[in-house]
Structure formats: structure tokens, C-alpha cells
Amino acid sequence: MADHLVTGSEEALSGPGRATGPGLHARVRVPGRLDAEVTAAAGSVVAVIGPNGAGKSTLLGALAGTTAMAGEVEVGGRSWTAPPLAVRHRRVGLVFQDQSLFPHLSALENVAFGLRARGRARTPARARAQEWLDRLGVGELAARRPRQLSGGQAQRVAIARALATEPELLLLDEPFSGLDVGVATALRIELARHLADFAGVALLVTHHALDALTLADEVLVLDGGRVAQTGTPRDVAAHPLTDHVARLVGLNVVADAETNRSFPPSAVTVSLRAPEGSARNRWRASVLSVVPHGDAVRLLARTDGAQELIADVTPEAAVELGLDPGREVWLTVKETSVRTYPRTASMRP
Amino acid sequence: MSSTTPRRTRTSRRLAATAAAVALVLPLAACGDDADGSSDTGGGAGDGAGDTTITVLAAASLTETFTTLAEQFEADHEGVEVELAFDSSATLAGQAVEGAPADVLATADSRTMDTAADVLAADPQVFATNTLVMAVPAGNPADLSGFEDVADGDATYVVCVDTAPCGAIWAAIAAEEGVTSQPASLEVDVKAVLAKVTGDEADAGFVYETDAVAAGDQVETFEVPGAEDQVTDYPIAQLDQAGDPELAQEFVDLVLSEAGQQVLADAGFGQP
Amino acid sequence: MTPPPDAGATTLSGSHLGRPPLVLVVPGAVAAALLVVPLVTLVLDTPWGDFLDQLGSAPVLAALRITALTSAVTVLACLVLGTPLAWLLARVDFAGRSVLRAAVAVPLVLPPVVAGVALVTALGRNGVVGSLLRETTGLTVPFTTTAVVIAHTFVAMPFYVLSVEGALRTAGERYDVVAATLGATRWHAFRRVTLPLAMPGVVAGAVLAWARSLGEFGATITFAGNFPGTTQTMPSLIYTQLQADPAVARTLSMILLLVSVGVLAGLRNRWLTTS
């Protein structure tokens, strides 16, 4: 299909040349909101994660050209910033959390819009749009208006619309949030297939560790407008440097002077009395919340040092210990369960 | 509504502004009359400035002269205030018939006065005449040499619509003189015609002699052939609903007096 | 007592919130009466026997023709000129935008006669623009049907522009951004996305402008004049007839009322319900 895409672009698009160079290089500065450097190889998928306000959407906006920025963006060996390239000349595809399908156009017309806007005649544009809808499994819904589509269907149309223009840079802003779990899972599998075929660079903003692990080649962790960590999904999941990522992958991370120490919640023992052992591996804490987690009960507690830790206990133990919010407990972890790694931003070998 | 009778309040001038407004408010005013009883002349005793008020409805073309006469009347009658309402004759006659609180009616033609015959306290008396003249903007920019340039030429000129007295006169003269050209516009009243001329939007307009006099050197005038046969009469009469018939009669007398006639003559009106 | 879940849903809100308070009902009824009573009395007071005669008379037909023509052209002028202005006000950030928006709204509160005077100062034969036009082309605007359209457009355009600008703001800039990322020029986005989404505002604005044009009198008679067949609209004819024969004026008012209500009803059936 990658071949197909290249052919299509040559016959349809007369604008800037296709990305043949080394993917995406960007240094983006938006005063007060973001100061980040992003590099990604052509064909790769980068998951962008971080807490709310970390600058994820700002990054996408700056790359798309809809948010004013300083710095530089280079895609496929061509600069989009020197001289500044208008939004419509940037070969980007955008997929938003809430789809943003044009409400007055049918699914088919939505997908054909980009092709028509770039000068393709009506009939071939519609034929091509129908192909993309078929590919996303919503071909039979071509005549429907967005309000007649379910959330998952609409998101498939939106992805088809973004891919139909054969962008060099695909920007996906939390495409699965707001969808039912089952629908999101099906769509995630579908998207993985299309992203594998996608020749350009894809940036996927997500709140789910699963997205990063299943879809991404790279992970970019943003925190407070800065890059906190980059690496393969596996590296980042195993050695999270921020509380946010630690929480996403379900790990506890405790920082020492020069190292991070991580351990899974299942390795944490909860007791009411002060246990034996190294002070380094035990904390007095107050229970914040108790929720079911698979067969276990997951406990979120805040230590006296204001660190949040999670622990998994059996339902029986939770009842026995009376683990209600506000309860004072002791948390302990065995040294053998703790993984220690340096506190540096990049985990790439 | 408490210290003076409603029909003599200062709102009367505004009430007279449109026939519609009067029609709406009349029922209220009538109620006020009943409630205040017959204290017509004494009602405003504590008023200080003017103990008594008479209201005069007068055609728009009488604006300057009747304002002067009203001042004169107030000077002669201490404690009396004259309220003046100026509008088109037809509007004023309509208001008088609807029972508008007023004492004297003066119109710009006999025909409209006749429409108010039911509410007149006495036979109308003609106190002035007016004749149509052709007015051109100062300096005569279209370089017209007289009536014939308009009657047969392509000059842009305006006249009153024929439902207005000035328009009825124009229609008669135009028929009599065999005017072949068409006016550019039929204005709703003579002031609108004058405005088009003074603003040099029209090359010429047909207005009353008095309007031309009032416009001073903003306009120049030409005589209109046959105008002397189409003289407009200005009748005046007191109304049935006059609060103080004696004072109303005195105002009519002033208009007809030598002094009153002088004021009118200065403004370009003819003697009846 | 539990109502059936479906049947109860529509009646619940009305019946269970209590009686509408008098403090709202009484003024509401007064407002309704004020709006309805004069119309009813106008209908009752119309000498219906003369209705068809009046409708068929030459001056009325001429005035109806001028009114229909000028109001249609006015709406067209609003669509062609007002839509771009509304777009500029809603979408383009330029110096003096707020001042311009305020200026656009001024004719809403201007007495129509003053609007007419203002037009004379600009487009009269001795007006700033009018004198230039006369010198260069020999054309003058006053006393022409064009002048009627200009006067109507002047007073009707603000209704249209504000309505469309509001619709554009409601639709938001988000879809414009999406269109741009899909490669659309601003013109393409305007045509295919912005305008279709603002269509309810366009239709509402056009109806408002048309209604304003239909009733326009003061600015027209001041600026354009009053002559049967060229500048005399129905309101002008009604006003002049009011001086001569109020009964005829009432009949003419009824004709204008019926024509406008008829057109509105037609629009409602064909347009307003589908949008």
C-alpha cells in the first residue's frame, strides 16, 4: 500500500515534493507553553504522552501551522518554517478527539474534501474517497451525515479523511478518547494496520499506555512544556522518569539523588504496623483511594514525603486491614523487586 | 396629571406629532378631563409661569408667523401661554376631529378645514392667502430662465404630492398651463420640496411664496403663470373643545387684526 | 404515580414545575395584546369592499412592483456585499475591527429620516461621492429606483450583517482550521464549509433585511423621493394616501401586510423548516 500512496501523490499533487528525506525534525518554541525538540524517522509512529497542560496539543498545532511558534519544522527534508508555509501547503493530516467532521457534508464528501481542495476533479475524488472509506471499514456509510454516525464510525471517517490527502505528517490528537472501550480497542487494531502502511511520520497524542505500547515506535514524554523523556515504548514503560508515565504504566517510581527506583504495585506489602526493614524501602502513608483492579484491589496512598504510591492487595486483605480512604498504613517493598536506573532524559542506548 | 388639566399639559405638542399617537392616548386624556371636572381656567393656578394655556394647531407653513404671533399674544395676556402644534393641514384636521385637546385650528386650505367642520365652534375665517412660486437654488445652478424651462424642458424639479394642498395647486396649474414634463419626485409636503431645492438636489421646486421668503437667500424665485388664479386660502377657527373660548377668540382676533396681518405680510402672505 | 417513562417525558416539565407566575404571565399578555390588537383592528377597519379595486389600481400596482423589485434587489445586495463584510468582521483580525463593527450597527438606531439625510450628504448631487459621480459620469443618484435600493440597503444591511456575523461566530473557526489542514484555500473553505454552516444565519438575516426593506419609508422618501413607477414604494404611497383618504391608506396597509405575510409563510414552508 505504501507504493500505492506514492503513486497517488504523484498523479494528484503538484505541490511540494514528497518526504524522501529523514522524516521529521522540529524545534518548537511557543512562549509560556512549549519548548521541545522532536525527531522522528519517516514511517515511524511517535506517541506523545504527558499530563494535561504539558503542551501536547500545542505541539500538534505548531507542527500543523495553526499555532504561532518560533523555531523550525522540517519534514521530508523540506523546511515548513523558513520561509513559513501556510497551513494548507503543509502536507498534514489532523484527527481530533471529537472528529471535527464537517456536519453539513456526507462521510464521502468529508473524505473527498481534501482531494477536491487540492484540485482533483469531482468524480475521481469521490472514487478515491470511497476507497478510503472501504479501507477503514465504513464504505457502506458513505452517504451518511456525521450526526448519523456513531463515535467509532465517525472517527474512522475522520481517519480516512486525514489519510486520503496522503500527508507527510499525520497528527492524531487523542483519537480514541470518548469512545466505548470495545469500540476503541477495535479502532486501535485498525489504526495499527494503517499506521504500519503509512509512509510519513505519525504523531499520536494519547492518555493510554496501551496506545503507546501497541501503536508507537517511539514515545515522547512532555511535562510542563518540556521533553521529559524519549525512547522506545518498552524503555519508557520500564524506566519511567515522570510520575505521569509511571502511573500510566502502573509502576511506582521513587527518585533518589541520582537514580530512579521503580517497582510494580504487586510487589508492595501493606501493613498497619511499622514493619522491619530498610527505611529506603518502607513508607508511612495515608490511603487516598481503593478501587478494584482485575482480581485484586488497587490502593493509592500518599506517603509522608508527599509521594503517591500504588499497591495491589487481595480483596480479603483489604477488608481485613480496613483500607478505607484516610486510613494510615505502612507500605513496604522488597529490594529484589526494585529496578534502579539513572535519572536522565533519554533512555536510548 | 394632577395639577393641571391634561389637555393643557406640555405633552400636547408631542401628542400632535402623529395622528396615531393621538388616537392611542386620547382615551386617557378624555378620562383626565372628567376627573378634573370643570376647573379649566383655574387648574394651573399654582403654575407660576403661565396660569392658562391655549393650544393652537397650525399648518406647517405658518410656523414662523404663528410663533411670532403667539409671543405677541403672551405679551398682551399676562399669565397665558400659547402652545403651538405645527403639522400638515390634513394631519391637524384629523387630530381635531378625533378630539385632540386644542383651542384653535388654522389650516393651509379650505378643503382640509371643511373636513373638520364637525368640531368647529364658529365659521372659519380666511386670514391669509398664499401663492405658488418657482424656487431655484441660490445662484440658479441649472441656469433656468423661467417657468417654461421647467414646463417643457428636462430640468429636475420637485413638487408636492397632489394629496397635499400645495400639490393640488400644482396639479391645477400644470393642467392649465399644459405642462408636458414630469417632476422627479412628489414630495409629501412643501418643506420637503424646499429642502430638495435648498440642498440643490433639484434644479427647481414649486413652493409657497412664504416658504421662499422664509428660505431667504438660499433660494431665488420665479413667478408661476396662472398662480394668481390658484391662490390658497388660510382659514382659522376655534374648536368646540376649546377650554377657554374667549381666549381662543382673542387669538383669532389677533391673527385677523392689523398687527397680525402685518406679521403675515412680512412673511410673504397675501391679504385675503 | 410513576408516569410511564416515555409518555411522561414530554408532559412532566410543564405540569410538575408549578403554575407560570403571574409576574410573568401578566406582562407577557400585555405585550401580546399590544402586538396583536392593532393588527386585528386594522383588519376589522379595512374597507374590504374596496380591496380588490384598490389592489388592481394603477398606482398600487406600480408601488407594489417597485416595492417587490427594490426589496428583492436589497436582499441580493445584502447577500453579495453583506456576507463578505460579515466574514471579515467575524474572521479577520484587522485594525479598527471593533470600530467598524460598531459603525455597521449604527443604522439600526438611526432615525430613518436621518439615514436619508446622511445618504444625501454622501450620494446627493452635491454629496461628497455624488458630486464626484456627477462630474465624471454625469449620473445622479437621487430620484431613481437605484436610490431607493441604496436607501433600503443602508437600513437593512446591519440586520443582515449582524445576523450572519453571529452565525459565523457560533459556527466557530475550528472547521476553517480543519479545512486548511486539508489543503483548502480560504476562499474554498468559505464556499464549501463556512458559508454552508452559517446558512441559518444567512436565511434569517435575509428575511430580516427583506422585512426591513419592505417597510422602509423615511430614508427612501428623504433620499430617493416619491414618484409613481420609479421611487414610490408601498409605504410612500400609504403615507401620501393618509393625507388624502385614511380609508384608502388602511386598505393599502392591508395589501402590504397580506403580501408580506404571504411571502413569509411561503419562505417558511420552502426554506426555513428545511434548514
Domains delineated in chain A: 2-237 (3.40.50.300), 250-342 (2.40.50.100)
Residue-wise pLDDT for A128-148, tens only, equals 999 999 999 999 999 999 999
In sequence order, the 6+-apart residues with CB closer than 8 A to the CB of B116 are: B93, B96, B97, B105, B107, B237, B239
**Do B202 and B148 have their domain in common?**
yes
Residue A281 pLDDT class (50, 70, 90 cuts): confident
Q: Indicate yes or no: CB of A88 within 8 angstroms of CB of C185.
A: yes
Shortest distance, CA B50 to any CA of chain C (angstroms): 34
Based on its alpha-carbon atoms, the radius of gyration of chain C, rounded to whole angstroms, reads 23
Shortest distance, CA C251 to any CA of chain B (angstroms): 16
Residues 214-233 of C with CB under 8 A from B: 221-222, 224-228, 231-232
- Residue C190 pLDDT more than 90? yes
pLDDT value of position C273: 54
What is the rounded (10 degree) CA torsion for A311, A317, A321, A325? 50
**Do B142 and B52 have their domain in common?**
no
List of chain B residues whose C-beta atoms are within 8 Å of the C-beta of residue C239: 188
* Residue B1: inside a domain: no
Distances from the Cα of C139 to the Cα of B62, B144, B150, C45, C146, angstroms: 37, 20, 20, 45, 11
Q: Indicate yes or no: CB of A102 within 8 angstroms of CB of C174.
A: no
- Residue A295 pLDDT more than 90? no
* Residue B272: inside a domain: no
**Do B163 and B203 have their domain in common?**
yes
Chains that touch A (3 or more CB pairs under 8 A): C
Q: What is the CATH number of the domain that holds B72?
A: 3.40.190.10
pLDDT value of position A158: 94
Chains that touch C (3 or more CB pairs under 8 A): A, B
pLDDT value of position A348: 42
* Residue B78: inside a domain: yes
pLDDT value of position C166: 93
Residue of B67, B197, B66 whose CA lies nearest to B133: B197
Residue-wise pLDDT for B93-145, tens only, equals 989 998 889 999 999 888 889 999 999 998 999 999 999 999 999 999 999 99
In sequence order, the 6+-apart residues with CB closer than 8 A to the CB of C229 are: C62, C65, C66
Residues 19-48 of C with CB under 8 A from B: none
Q: How many residues does chain C have?
A: 275
Q: Which residue of A has its CA nearest to C199?
A: A104
**Do B176 and B65 have their domain in common?**
no
Q: Which residue of C has its CA nearest to A111?
A: C182
In sequence order, the 6+-apart residues with CB closer than 8 A to the CB of B268 are: B130, B208, B209, B210, B212, B213, B214
Shortest distance, CA C202 to any CA of chain A (angstroms): 15
**Do B123 and B137 have their domain in common?**
no
**Do B60 and B113 have their domain in common?**
yes
Shortest distance, CA B40 to any CA of chain C (angstroms): 32
Shortest distance, CA C65 to any CA of chain A (angstroms): 37
| Interface contacts B/C by beta carbons within 8 Å | 61
Beta bridge partners of B85: B57
Residue C14 pLDDT class (50, 70, 90 cuts): low
Residue-wise pLDDT for B16-36, tens only, equals 343 343 344 344 444 433 333
Q: How many residues does chain A have?
A: 349
* Neighbouring C-alpha atoms within 13 Å toward the C-beta of A250: 13
In sequence order, the 6+-apart residues with CB closer than 8 A to the CB of A328 are: A284, A285, A286, A287
* Residue C143: inside a domain: yes
**Do B225 and B243 have their domain in common?**
no
Q: Which residue of C has its CA nearest to A163?
A: C182
Residue B83 pLDDT class (50, 70, 90 cuts): very high
* Neighbouring C-alpha atoms within 13 Å toward the C-beta of C262: 7
By DSSP bridging, strand A252-255 and strand A259-263 are antiparallel
Comparing CB atoms, the residue among C179, C181, C184 nearest residue A92 is C181
pLDDT value of position A274: 84
* Residue C21: inside a domain: no
Is residue C182 exposed (0-12), middle (13-18) or buried (19+ Cβ within 10 Å)? buried
pLDDT value of position C270: 62
Spell out which chain B residues touch chain C, with contact meaning CB-CB distance below 8 angstroms: 19, 88, 90-91, 94, 156, 158, 161, 163-164, 182-188, 192, 196, 199-202
Q: Indicate yes or no: CB of C125 within 8 angstroms of CB of B201.
A: yes
Interchain CB contact of A90 with C (< 8 Å): yes
Residues 123-152 of C with CB under 8 A from B: 124-126, 140, 142-143
Q: Which residue of C has its CA nearest to A113?
A: C182
Q: What is the mean pLDDT of chain B?
A: 81
Query: For residues A269 and A273, what is the distance between their CA atoms, to the nearest angstrom?
Result: 12
pLDDT value of position B47: 41
Q: Indicate yes or no: CB of C182 within 8 angstroms of CB of A165.
A: yes
Choose from C174, C182, C192 for mutation: most chain A CBs within 10 A: C182
Backbone dihedral angles phi then psi of residue B214, each to the nearest 5 degrees? -65, -30
Q: What is the CATH number of the domain that holds C222?
A: 1.10.3720.10
pLDDT value of position B224: 92
Q: Indicate yes or no: CB of B192 within 8 angstroms of CB of C221.
A: yes
Domains of chain C: total: 1
Residue C2 pLDDT class (50, 70, 90 cuts): very low
Domain residue limits at B17: 6-128+233-266
Q: Quick one: CA dihedral B160, B166, B172, B175, positive or negative?
A: negative
Complex ipTM > 0.90: no
What is the rounded (10 degree) CA torsion for B33, B34, B35, B41? 50
Is the distance from CB of C197 to CB of C90 less than 8 angstroms? no
Q: What average pLDDT does the segment A211-233 reach? A: 88
Domains of chain B: total: 2
**Do B247 and B223 have their domain in common?**
no
Residue C96 pLDDT class (50, 70, 90 cuts): very high
Shortest distance, CA C91 to any CA of chain A (angstroms): 14
**Do B108 and B59 have their domain in common?**
yes
pLDDT value of position B28: 41
Q: Indicate yes or no: CB of C181 within 8 angstroms of CB of A90.
A: yes
List of chain C residues whose C-beta atoms are within 8 Å of the C-beta of residue A118: 183
* Residue C100: inside a domain: yes
Is residue B217 exposed (0-12), middle (13-18) or buried (19+ Cβ within 10 Å)? exposed
Q: How many CB atoms lie within 10 A of CB C247?
A: 14
- Residue C172 pLDDT more than 60? yes
Shortest distance, CA B129 to any CA of chain C (angstroms): 21
pLDDT value of position C104: 94
Spell out which chain C residues touch chain A, with contact meaning CB-CB distance below 8 angstroms: 174-175, 177-185, 188-189, 192-193, 196-197, 199
* Neighbouring C-alpha atoms within 13 Å toward the C-beta of A252: 28
* Residue B25: inside a domain: yes
List of chain C residues whose C-beta atoms are within 8 Å of the C-beta of residue B192: 221-222
* Residue C95: inside a domain: yes
Is the distance from CB of B89 to CB of B233 less than 8 angstroms? no
- Residue A154 pLDDT more than 50? yes
**Do B198 and B253 have their domain in common?**
no
DSSP annotation of A346 reads B
Q: Which residue of C has its CA nearest to A166?
A: C182
* Residue B271: inside a domain: no
Q: Which residue of C has its CA nearest to B92?
A: C243
pLDDT value of position C79: 96
**Do B100 and B161 have their domain in common?**
no
Domain residue limits at C93: 70-229
Q: Which residue of B has its CA nearest to C239?
A: B188
Choose from C121, C129, C227, C253 for mutation: most chain B CBs within 10 A: C227
Residue C248 pLDDT class (50, 70, 90 cuts): confident
Residue-wise pLDDT for A309-325, tens only, equals 889 988 888 888 888 88
Q: What is the mean pLDDT of chain A?
A: 85
- Residue B11 pLDDT more than 60? no
| Interface contacts A/C by beta carbons within 8 Å | 55
pLDDT value of position B17: 40
**Do B22 and B101 have their domain in common?**
yes
Residue C208 CA, distance from chain mean position: 3
Q: What is the pTM of this model?
A: 0.74
Query: For residues A281 and A299, what is the distance between their CA atoms, to the nearest angstrom?
Result: 17
Spell out the SS3 assignment of chain C: CCCCCCHHHHHHHHHHCCCCCHHHHHHHHHHHHHHHHHHHHHHHHCCHHHHHHHHHCHHHHHHHHHHHHHHHHHHHHHHHHHHHHHHHHHHCCCCCHHHHHHHHHHHHHCCHHHHHHHHHHHHCCCCHHHHHHHHHHCCCCCCCHHHHHHHHHHHHHHHHHHHHHHHHHHHCCHHHHHHHHCCCCHHHHHHHHHHHHCHHHHHHHHHHHHHHHHHCCHHHHHHCCCCCCCCCCHHHHHHHHHHHCHHHHHHHHHHHHHHHHHHHHHHHHHHHCCC
In sequence order, the 6+-apart residues with CB closer than 8 A to the CB of C176 are: C91, C186, C189, C193, C194
